[in-house]
Amino acid sequence: MHGPIDFKITAQDGEARTGSITTRRSIIETPVFMPVGTQGAIKGVRFEWLENELDARIILGNTYHLYLRPGIDVIRKLGGLHKFSSWSRSILTDSGGYQVFSLAKMRKLTDEGVEFRSHIDGARCFLSPEISMNVQAALDSEIVMAFDECPPGDAEHEATRKSLELTARWARRSKQRFDELHTAQSTNFSSSSEKKRQAEACTLNGMQALFGIIQGAGHLDLRNESLERTVEIGFDGYAIGGLSVGEEKDVMYGVLEHIAPKMPKVHPRYLMGVGTPEDLLEAISHGVDMFDCVLPTRNGRTGGAFTSRGKINIRNARFVDDDGPIDPDCLCSVCARYSRAYIRHLYQAGEMAAATLISHHNLAFYLNTMRTVREAIAGGMYMAFKNSFLEKLRENQDGGV
Amino acid sequence: MHGPIDFKITAQDGEARTGSITTRRSIIETPVFMPVGTQGAIKGVRFEWLENELDARIILGNTYHLYLRPGIDVIRKLGGLHKFSSWSRSILTDSGGYQVFSLAKMRKLTDEGVEFRSHIDGARCFLSPEISMNVQAALDSEIVMAFDECPPGDAEHEATRKSLELTARWARRSKQRFDELHTAQSTNFSSSSEKKRQAEACTLNGMQALFGIIQGAGHLDLRNESLERTVEIGFDGYAIGGLSVGEEKDVMYGVLEHIAPKMPKVHPRYLMGVGTPEDLLEAISHGVDMFDCVLPTRNGRTGGAFTSRGKINIRNARFVDDDGPIDPDCLCSVCARYSRAYIRHLYQAGEMAAATLISHHNLAFYLNTMRTVREAIAGGMYMAFKNSFLEKLRENQDGGV
Residue B400, pLDDT > 50, answer no
Q: What pLDDT is stored for residue B221 in this prediction?
A: 98
DSSP classification of residue A334: H
Q: B290 pairs with which residues across the strands?
A: B32, B270
Taking the CA of residue B142 and the nearest CA in chain A, the distance in Å comes to 20
C-alpha span between B140 and B81 (Å, rounded): 6
Please state the separation of Cα B42 from the chain's center in Å: 13
Over range B350-367, report the average pLDDT: 98
Interface test with B, best of A36, A45, A46 (most B CBs within 10 A): A46
CA distance B233 to chain A (A): 37
Q: Of the given ranges (A195-199, A264-268, A378-382, B124-128), which has the lowest mean pLDDT? A: A195-199
Among B40, B339, B352, whose Cβ lies nearest the Cβ of A355? B352
pLDDT bin (cut points 50, 70, 90) of residue A106 is: confident
Active site residue: A13, A236, A289, A292, which one? Answer: A292
Summarised one tens digit per residue, pLDDT across range B52-111 is 999 999 999 999 999 999 999 999 999 999 999 999 999 999 999 899 888 877 889 999
Give me chain A's average pLDDT, please. 93
**What's residue A204's pLDDT?**
73
ipTM over 0.85: yes
In this prediction, what percent of chain B has a pLDDT beyond 70?
Answer: 93
Taking 50 as the threshold, does the pLDDT of residue A362 lie above it? yes
At residue A199, φ and ψ (nearest 5 deg) are -60, -40
Which pLDDT belongs to residue A35?
98
A355 has a chain B CB within 8 A of its CB: yes
Higher pLDDT, B396 or A340: A340
Q: Is the pLDDT of residue A98 over 50?
A: yes
CA distance B399 to B138: 42
Instruction: State how far the Cα of A32 lies from the Cα of A291, in Å rounded to an integer.
Output: 6
Give the gap in angstroms from C-alpha B38 to the nearest C-alpha of chain A.
10
CA of A145 to nearest chain B CA: how many angstroms apart?
23
Nearest to A78 among B78, B323, B353 (CB): B323
Cβ of A74 within 8 Å of Cβ of B323? The answer is: no
Q: How many CB atoms lie within 10 A of CB B152?
A: 15
Q: Are B239 and B211 in contact (CB under 8 A)?
A: yes
Chain A residue numbers touching B337 (CB-CB < 8 A): 47, 86
Percent of chain A with pLDDT over 90: 87
Cα(B374)–Cα(B368) distance, rounded to whole angstroms? 10
% chain B with pLDDT above 90: 87
Cβ separation of B40 and A342 shorter than 8 Å? yes
- Residues A5-10: what's their mean pLDDT? 98
| pLDDT tens sequence across A64-97 | 999 999 999 999 999 999 999 999 999 999 999 8
Query: So what's the pLDDT on residue A81?
Result: 98
Taking CA–CA distances from B42, the nearest residue in chain A reads: A353
Residue type at position B87: W
Query: Would you state the pLDDT for residue A184?
Result: 65
Does the beta-carbon distance from B44 to A346 stay under 8 Å?
A: no
Q: What is the pLDDT of residue A401?
A: 41
CA distance A89 to chain B (A): 14
Q: What is the mean pLDDT of residues A173-184?
A: 93
Given a cut of 70, whether residue A192 has pLDDT beyond it is: no
The answer to whether A84 contacts B352, with C-beta atoms less than 8 Å apart, is no
Catalytic residues of B: 94, 292
User: Is A351 close to B78, i.e. CB distance below 8 A?
Assistant: no
User: CA B341 to CA A108: how far, in whole Å?
Assistant: 33
The confidence score (pLDDT) of residue A71 equals 96
The pLDDT-based confidence of B401 (bands split at 50, 70, 90) is very low
Share of chain A above pLDDT 70, in %: 93
DSSP string covering B53-108: TS---EEEE-HHHHHHTT-HHHHHHTTHHHHHH---SEEEE--SHHHHHHT-EEEE
Q: What pLDDT does residue A1 have?
A: 63
Of residues A308 and A206, the one with the higher pLDDT is: A308
**Beta-carbon separation of A352 and B352 below 8 A:** yes
Instruction: Find the CB nearest B43 among A74, A352, A355.
Output: A352
Mutation target for B interface from A49, A352, A357: give the one with most B CBs within 10 A: A352
For residue A48, the chain B residues in CB contact (below 8 A) are 333
**In this predicted model, what pLDDT tens digit does every residue of B195-223 receive, in sequence order?**
555 555 455 778 999 999 999 999 999 99
Least confident of A104-108, A181-185, B387-391: A181-185
As a whole number, the mean pLDDT across chain B is 93
A225 touches A164 (CB < 8 A) = yes
Per-residue 3-state assignment (H helix, E strand, C coil) for B149-193: CCCCCCCCHHHHHHHHHHHHHHHHHHHHHHHHHHHHHHCCCCCHH
pLDDT in tens, B217-271: 999 999 999 999 999 999 999 999 999 999 999 999 999 999 999 999 999 999 9
Q: Give the C-alpha distances (Å, rounded to integers) separating A45 from A100, B127, B388.
A: 26, 38, 38
Active site residue A292: yes
At B193 the pLDDT is 62
How many Å apart are CA A204 and CA A278, to the nearest integer? 37
- The Cβ of residue A159 has, within 10 Å, a number of other Cβ atoms equal to 13
* Segment A160-183 mean pLDDT: 96
Instruction: Say which of A78, A337, A353 has its CB closest to residue B341.
Output: A78
Edge-to-edge, what's the strand order for the sheet holding A58-61?
A32-34, A290-292, A269-271, A237-240, A209-214, A143-145, A90-93, A58-61, A36-37
